[in-house]
Amino acid sequence: MTKTILRYGIIGGLIVAVPWMVFMLTLPADGHFPHSMVLGYTLMLIALSTVFLGVKHYRDHALGGVIGFGRAFLLGLGISLVASLVYVVGWEIDMTYSKFNFIDAYAKMMGGDTPEAKEFVQMYSKPLVRMMFTFIEIFPVGVLVSLISAGLLRNSRLFPARAP
């Protein structure tokens, strides 16, 4: 099970982190990022499709085509956790090497000189806080995908294993 979690989690994390890294690392310092939230969550959903694929693979190859909801959900959570951690590492690379100043741009979107924006800049400047924010961005999506995947894949008639 650990091998499945790591394999599908790393793949999922890379699917979301690498395109986002390319986008951020090529964005100029004064860049504009319209629709970035839509892009980000779309990439997350595509990446977290590895939860479904990983649970199905494990069900079909390790468990003979049958998996309970609880085990499927825990497997999905494991994959989501690994994918989320890979995403966090990718975001930290972005923050380190990108010319684009995300913190200032986001604060500007929040109103610039407002107390809330200043508080955000101060909080987000702390690496552990930033990592928690980044993790919380993706992991709840993974929880939702894990719930849906576990619900669907516990019924082996919906998505049967392929014949060899």
In a domain, 42, yes or no: yes
Q: Which domain holds residue 137?
A: 2-26+38-153
Mean pLDDT of 143-150: 97
Q: How far apart are CA 81 and CA 5, in angstroms?
A: 9
In a domain, 11, yes or no: yes
In a domain, 32, yes or no: no
Instruction: Give the pLDDT score at 5.
Output: 97
The residue to which tokens 């913190």 are assigned: 103
The confidence band for 142, taking pLDDT boundaries of 50, 70 and 90, is very high
Question: Quick check: 46 pLDDT over 80?
Answer: yes
5 within 8 A of 82, measured Cβ to Cβ: yes
CA 85 to chain centre: 8
Per residue in 55-98, pLDDT (tens digit) is: 999 999 999 889 999 999 999 999 999 999 999 999 999 888 88
Question: Quick check: 147 pLDDT over 90?
Answer: yes
Instruction: Give the pLDDT score at 163.
Output: 57
In a domain, 52, yes or no: yes
Query: What pTM, to 2 d.p., does this model score?
Result: 0.89
In a domain, 31, yes or no: no
In a domain, 160, yes or no: no
75 within 8 A of 2, measured Cβ to Cβ: no
In a domain, 75, yes or no: yes
How many domains, in total, are found in the chain? 1
Tell which wins on pLDDT, 66 or 101.
Answer: 66
Is residue 37 classed exposed, middle or buried when 0-12, 13-18 and 19+ CB atoms within 10 A define those classes?
exposed
